[in-house]
Chains A and B, each alone.
Chain A
Amino acid sequence: MRSDDGDVEAGGVVGLVHQHFKLIERLRVWENVLLNREPRRGWAIDVAAARERVRALAARYGLAVDPDAVVETLPVGIKQRVELLRELDREPSVLLLDEPTAALAPGEIASFFTTIGELARNGTAVLVVTHKLAEVTAYSQRVTVMRAGRVVARHATAETNAADIARAMVGGEVPALADRTATATAPLLEARGLSARSATSALDDASFEVRAGEIVGIAGVEGNGQSALADAIAGIVPFSGELRFAGEQLRASESPAVRIARGIRVIPQDRRHEALVLDWNVRDNVALGRQRSLPRRAFADAARAVIERFDVRPPNADAIAGELSGGNQQKIVVGRALASAPKLIVAYQPTRGIDVGAAALVQSRLIEARNAGAGVLLISFELDEIFACADRVLVIANGRFAGSFARADVDRGRIGALMAGQA
């Protein structure tokens, strides 16, 4: 282990599961799990033994996975199991997990922590880095709160609660979300039998509508058709079926530029690759998507407006986007999307991996856009976010819509079951 300064000591093997998986996409599951520890027969790899070892490991920890599947074909939730199995095969005495439940359904989260708890009881030290307070309070024995790179609080979990931990994370009161004032009016986006396929997921025969002045939440586990849905609306992938926007038929062949011109803004899931030019400064990034309509002289003012409205730090339009924190990068992406009075906002994981304060700010701005009459399609893997923001909740599983709930009668247990594919 290395650190810039100070000492890190660990007895025995340290296992590390990254939030962003470190897997070799083109190799099979067993090849990834046993990389550099392959069982050998003479000079060759003993494939049968390797397969059996992975199968036994998976059975032992209740992490079902096909040893022969090629990793790039697997949904994110399964990839994470592969990542975890790889570390478990090394029989670590210390296991570090970075945001391990980001890609799991509520039911899967519980069984995941059962597995992890088992490990801990058998003598493994487990360190979970997470922003989900419910998981901290439900499954941990001790909690350490960090803010801006420093430890700000340390408690036995039994002696604290979620509200105190949140206050310590933010360094004050967690900002309340904006009130919802107006109510939904006319249908804005209508989908009938919409099917589409993105690189990582497929959407199958979906029908729904988003009205002006409402937030529709799409609840689901990653890889169940969300990216196909977002990409189809953005004009990145073609679709079949019918998609109407503001009374007009959207053509499957029309480009992202046309969708933008219609007033549709998509906040992509991956801000670093799909939204920002990391080598550019904030000013040029804020203009991205509006480069044809916004005169160059107006770039600076547009950037300043986003920086002020979203409290971007440092408040410097010349700062390089790639050097900002994730939260501030996301503020730029969301700020840019909301800047030109869009009619429809598709927000795909708009608060992924950012701190509680920044997340509350982003969510409030989305609610304000809704109050101002925009339609918002909020695609999130976090139920808490959807429950906090959405007027209606649609559940997506295996590329199909599995249920619809009004804000007043959301049922967490029922939604969780639908997300896991249980009818």
Chain B
Amino acid sequence: MSAVLRTRTVRDLLVVLVVVFGVGSIAMLLAHVSPIDGFAQLFDGAFGTPEEVGETLVQAAFLLFPALGIAVAFRAGLFNIGAEGQLVLGGFAAGWIGAQLPMPAYLAIPAVLIAGALAGGAWGAIPGFLKARFGANEVIATLMLNYVAVLLCTYLVTGPLQQGGSGASETAALPKAAQLPDLIGLLADPHPTLAYVLTPFVIAVALAFVLRWLLFRTVFGYELRAAGDAPEAAKRAGIDLGRTALLAMSISGAIAGLGGATIVAGELHRFNTGLSAGYGFIAIAVAIVGNLDPRWIIVASIAFGMLQSGGIAMQAEAHVPKEVIALVTGLVIIALAGRRVVATRRTT
């Protein structure tokens, strides 16, 4: 099942490039902008200065967390469309806990990140449990829980758990001790210190390699992939599909939730109901383009991070509407998923 979304050929990379540059160019022409100008601004905006490189990697990190979570679920044959909700809820838990606890950094940062992972994991466990216990379709459950998560956080932050009297839909600011170091600072800093190990991008890349090990070197990963690639055969080989679904969705949600926590601790320094610019949805494309392989997802997240950060510059400097980026992202998903479906139909 998950094999449908995985690809083996370089041709798919070409498809992505053709879609991005081809459709992107057409869209720019329709907006009366020279595609050369537009793409030049895109690259310049993403990589022109150390600060811009930093922003690109920040965006990459915020996409990388949910994409890794999505990849774990997809590998298990579960189409987790709910990374957005898991990420928002993780961000809320991180922001709320972080603002509560006056602690030294070596306790505060782990507390904030763990809170985010637990909240996201619990949110992912719900559709996992429903799938395992009742066979409920995880696509619908995760999609719907996105709305529930966002509305729940909005209610909590403006209602029972409101902090301060501002009435704004956000938590109080995190104390300095609970904030992650700034990646932009890292790239501008001529003498980086060990503290920068805790920047979101570094954490996310390390996590990618941990997940790769988990998926491809452990019994758990073997069983998870078997359940995703051939559920009937996995069941007959003694693999508990329900347990695998519950664990895969919990881990998937926890990783997305951790992503939400890093946005709060690394960027906003408080929870805000608008903390995600649709990261949980764009991450679906990142995971698919990355072939559900954590190593390639790192590369894909940088590419999409570039579109995110460069897109803003492109709009400001070359007057290309930012929606071109959303258009291109959507078409990449359709092109890749569609090509695989066509290929699968031909072989069966």
| Residues of chain A in range 173-210 having any CB-CB distance to chain B below 8 Å | none
- Say whether A255 contacts B229, CB under 8 Å: no
- The 0/1 profile, CB within 8 Å of A marked 1, for residues 46-64 of chain B is 0000000000000000000
Contact A273 to B233, CB < 8 A, known contacts A257-B238, A260-B238: yes
Task: Identify which of B173-181, B219-227, B247-255, B269-277 touches chain A.
Answer: B219-227
Contact A257 to B239, CB < 8 A, known contacts A288-B226, A291-B222: yes
Partner of A291, one of B223, B230, B235: B223
- Say whether B222 contacts A273, CB under 8 Å: no
In the complex, chain B residues whose CB is within 8 Å of the CB of A275: 233, 236
Task: Identify which of A277-285, A311-319, A363-371 touches chain B.
Answer: A277-285
| Residues of chain A in range 248-289 having any CB-CB distance to chain B below 8 Å | 255-261, 266, 268, 270, 273-280, 284, 287-289
Find the B residue at minimum CB distance from A294. Answer: B219
How many residues belonging to B are interface residues under a CB distance threshold of 8 Å?
19
In the complex, chain A residues whose CB is within 8 Å of the CB of B229: 277-280
CA distance A304 to B229 in the complex (A): 23
CA distance A277 to B236 in the complex (A): 12
Taking the closest CB of chain A, its distance from the CB of B172, in whole angstroms, is 48
Whether a CB of chain A sits under 8 angstroms from the CB of B237 is yes
In the complex, chain B residues whose CB is within 8 Å of the CB of A289: 236-238
Contact A296 to B217, CB < 8 A, known contacts A277-B229, A278-B230: yes
- Say whether A256 contacts B236, CB under 8 Å: yes
Whether a CB of chain A sits under 8 angstroms from the CB of B240 is yes
- Say whether B233 contacts A288, CB under 8 Å: yes
Whether a CB of chain B sits under 8 angstroms from the CB of A2 is no
- Say whether B236 contacts A266, CB under 8 Å: yes
| Residues of chain B in range 194-242 having any CB-CB distance to chain A below 8 Å | 217, 219, 222-223, 225-226, 229-230, 232-240
Partner of B230, one of A266, A277, A292, A296: A277
Taking the closest CB of chain B, its distance from the CB of A253, in whole angstroms, is 13
Whether a CB of chain A sits under 8 angstroms from the CB of B3 is yes
- Say whether A257 contacts B230, CB under 8 Å: no
CA distance A287 to B219 in the complex (A): 11
Partner of A256, one of B222, B230, B238: B238
- Say whether A274 contacts B236, CB under 8 Å: yes
- Say whether A276 contacts B233, CB under 8 Å: yes
Taking the closest CB of chain A, its distance from the CB of B39, in whole angstroms, is 36
CA distance A261 to B238 in the complex (A): 9
Find the B residue at minimum CB distance from A278. Answer: B230
- Say whether B219 contacts A291, CB under 8 Å: yes
Whether a CB of chain B sits under 8 angstroms from the CB of A236 is yes
Find the B residue at minimum CB distance from A271. Answer: B233
- Say whether B236 contacts A276, CB under 8 Å: no
Taking the closest CB of chain A, its distance from the CB of B225, in whole angstroms, is 8
- Say whether A274 contacts B238, CB under 8 Å: no
Whether a CB of chain B sits under 8 angstroms from the CB of A390 is no
Whether a CB of chain B sits under 8 angstroms from the CB of A234 is yes
Taking the closest CB of chain B, its distance from the CB of A191, in whole angstroms, is 20
- Say whether B217 contacts A256, CB under 8 Å: no
CA distance A274 to B232 in the complex (A): 5
CA distance A146 to B230 in the complex (A): 32
In the complex, chain A residues whose CB is within 8 Å of the CB of B225: 277
Partner of B235, one of A236, A276, A277: A236
